[in-house]
Amino acid sequence: MARIVPLCSSSKGNSVFIGDTSEGVLVDVGCSFKALRERLSLCGIPFEAIKAVVITHEHSDHIKGLLQLTKQTDLPIYASGGTIRYLTDNGCIDPSARLYDCDELNNAPTDIRIEYFHTPHDAAESVGYTFTAGEHKIACCTDLGYVTDEVRGRLIGCSAVYIEANYDKKLLDGNVKYPPFLKARIASNKGHLANADCSDFCAELIAAGATRLVLGHLSQENNTPQTAYSAVSDRLSKEGMRCGADYTLDIAPVVSVGKYIVL
């Protein structure tokens, strides 16, 4: 059965595996190559199950281990045109890597159907992905300042969604360690998704048939797992949606402890 397997999730590192023990797709390489192998093993996923790697954008918390991965393996890497230019121009990927534009995802060596969509973020060309495996359609969507029509159109109707709940507005506003320009960047339309906005969108997703929600990319400075969980569950409760009956809600851990979500 298909699984969502968060391997790391925070402002310091992000990587998630979508698939099962025989084949799947790795979204981003935000941890070291060694840590990636260890965390996959902890979750019962052999490294050989990775058939393709898709990159959302070039920020370091999403490509930290990409150079070593492309030096150590010949896995095909897919990214948007803008991201590809950044990766190659800045030495973020081995020159011999099998690097392909997202437009070629229909040729990826997996039975999982992969599609991409653009996300509003301060990167060269940030994207999210959907994965269709059997009867399940799974979305992975982080690093977006707001929910665009394109994002909404691609995620509505998915049965499972890995979605960003990056920050709590009160915690961000009150964070004395963050200068005003950084707070403005995070809260901008090309920054990150706030708990409140994530909660509103989750209500739309559940109403449209989603049954599995995973909150990811939580800021360790401006959010907490309980704050994000409560924001979403309270919002859904107001709509009469029951956790455990109408949907499940999970928080992606900062570092995997071997837990995954079975669809």
- Where is 149: in which H helix or E strand? helix 149-155
Residues 55, 108: contact at Cβ < 8 Å? no
According to the model, what pLDDT value does residue 3 have?
96
pTM of the model: 0.97
Average pLDDT, the chain: 97
Taking only the tens place, the pLDDT of each residue in 27-42 is 999 999 999 999 999 9
According to the model, what pLDDT value does residue 128 have?
98
Taking only the tens place, the pLDDT of each residue in 213-248 is 999 999 999 999 999 999 999 999 999 999 999 999
According to the model, what pLDDT value does residue 252 have?
98
According to the model, what pLDDT value does residue 14 have?
98
Q: Find the CATH number of the domain harbouring 180.
A: 3.60.15.10
Q: How many domains does the chain have?
A: 1
Candidates 64, 5, 18; CA nearest to 252 is 5
> Is pLDDT at 138 greater than 90 in this prediction?
yes
According to the model, what pLDDT value does residue 1 have?
79
Measured CA distances, 122 to 102, 130, 145, 225 (Å): 19, 21, 9, 25
Boundaries of domain holding 21? 3-262
Taking only the tens place, the pLDDT of each residue in 168-181 is 999 999 999 999 99
> Is pLDDT at 258 greater than 90 in this prediction?
yes
Residues 6+ apart with CB under 8 A from 139: 128, 129, 130, 131, 154, 155, 158, 160, 161, 162, 163
How many residues are recorded in the chain? 263
Candidates 29, 76, 35; CA nearest to 56 is 29
Taking only the tens place, the pLDDT of each residue in 92-123 is 999 999 999 999 999 999 999 999 999 999 99
For the chain, give the percent of residues with pLDDT over 90.
Answer: 100
According to the model, what pLDDT value does residue 23 have?
97
